[in-house]
Amino acid sequence: MASNISALCLSFIFFFSLLSIFPSSITSLTFSLSRFHTNPSQDSYQNLNSLVSSSLTRALHIKNPQTKTTTTTTTTTNISSHSYGGYSISLSFGTPPQIIPFILDTGSHLVWFPCTNHYQCKYCSSSKIPSFIPKLSSSSRLLGCQNPKCSWIHHESIQCRDCNDEPLATSKNCTQICPSYLVLYGSGLTEGIALSETLNLPNRIIPNFLVGCSVLSSRQPAGIAGFGRGKTSLPSQLNLDKFSYCLLSHKFDDTTRTSSLILDNGSSHSDKKTTGLTYTPFVNNPSVAERNAFSVYYYVGLRRITVGGQRVRVWYKYLTLDRDGNGGTIVDSGTTFTFMVPELFEPLADEFVSQMVKNRNYTRALGAEALTGLRPCFDVPGEKVASFPELKLHFMGGAEVTLPVENYFAVVGEGSAVCLTVVTDREASGGPSIILGNFQMQNYYVEYDLRNQRLGFKQQLCK
């Protein structure tokens, strides 16, 4: 990771070109969601291995995040699915509007897009990543250093060295821009400066929206729309009461099929539960100054896990948050396969092995485990109807989720084996004990009720 940062910083000269590209001078919104895929592999073993690696890398970042950096409105947009295991939405910024794809990410809070004709992305398989061009927008403005929103990105007192010490209201001659940001995402990063820009929604226009203009990135297939709890996130800037989505089933390929993301601001019945949904309350992480990034995550109270009706015996302390903010469970749309710390994963894997091998007479597919990085895997040669133990998650408040088999087992090779789609890593210390990924959320309607601080969900076919 350090070498990537160094390489990007050496190219930071492109930042100076930004200074010349700017002119001197209550209803629901629904969007389409699509899966994001880059460099799709025809080899299912290789593809799964890549997704295991990206899920683990993201888990390491989430557990140890590093950053240097009243009307009623309901809007609906499409969500698209992609081969690298993520989901994207398209948003319109600028005057006139420019439409840019963004990865939907509930595990981060900054909204940023690839920016300018000089945008560079290292280790990106696609050279045709759409970029926003600020000089083509009459509403683009560089964010000033003394703008209060500058501190939203940097989380600390910003020293505007080129400005007077007077309060903002009297510092009319200050021209210093907000310092550049550097955000790490586990497997990649992005670097840029903050803009004040117009966000164009289907039935609403939001001026002065804080958005990142990134000119350098690593391993980022598109911009990112942060939906976490931070001030810079899209839900926070739009002052949403709730947002919800339904994720298409994973085929690990690019598809033209889409599902929906709904942004709800000021619903007339915002205190009422949505019909058919089961709810569990969000859990607050203890305020830990040195771990401010943890406050971005959506924590839920997972109380126990059962496999085939048998309770998985785990240490309860890993399911709860300690005084340092470690432990607990978060929901993260940017992670593909669910992550568990070894103390939780090993008992879960052992229970599956016990029930699959001892009770159902399946054998371990060690070759598939070596090729995919997933475990345990089981041979199912020629099985037209295979039998699997039920996986159920039990949450605070009595909410229960019985996952369909395709949400926790993946078919590999020519269909001769299946593997549990949960990952672990002994080097991942601190942070959340469980990161619920989007593979486990496919074909679920998920509602983030921000006003009432709860997560709602129900199984349904997303389309």
Active site residue 105: yes
What is the total residue count of the chain? Answer: 463
In the structure encoding, which two tokens stand for residue 348, read together? 């879960």
CA 178 to CA 253: how far, in whole Å?
Answer: 39
CA 135 to CA 249: how far, in whole Å?
Answer: 39
Task: Name the β-bridge partners of 331.
Answer: 298, 436
- Cα–chain center distance at 433: 17
DSSP code of residue 57: H
What is the sign of the dihedral through the CA atoms of 249, 463, 452 and 89? positive
Map residue 223 onto helix, strand or coil. Answer: strand
Contacts of 52 by beta carbon, 8 Å cutoff, 6+ apart: 337, 372, 373, 374, 423
Contact predicate 210/112, CB 8 Å: no
Contacts of 354 by beta carbon, 8 Å cutoff, 6+ apart: none
The dihedral over CA atoms of 167, 169, 171, 177, expressed in degrees to the nearest 10, equals: 90
CA 378 to CA 411: how far, in whole Å?
Answer: 10
**What are the E-state strand segments in 143-247?**
181-184, 189-201, 204-218, 223-226, 242-246
Q: Which of 241, 264, 332, 449 is catalytic?
A: 332
Q: Which of 105, 241, 264, 449 is catalytic?
A: 105
Active site residue 332: yes
CA 403 to CA 244: how far, in whole Å?
Answer: 19
CA 211 to CA 155: how far, in whole Å?
Answer: 16
Active-site residue set: 105, 332
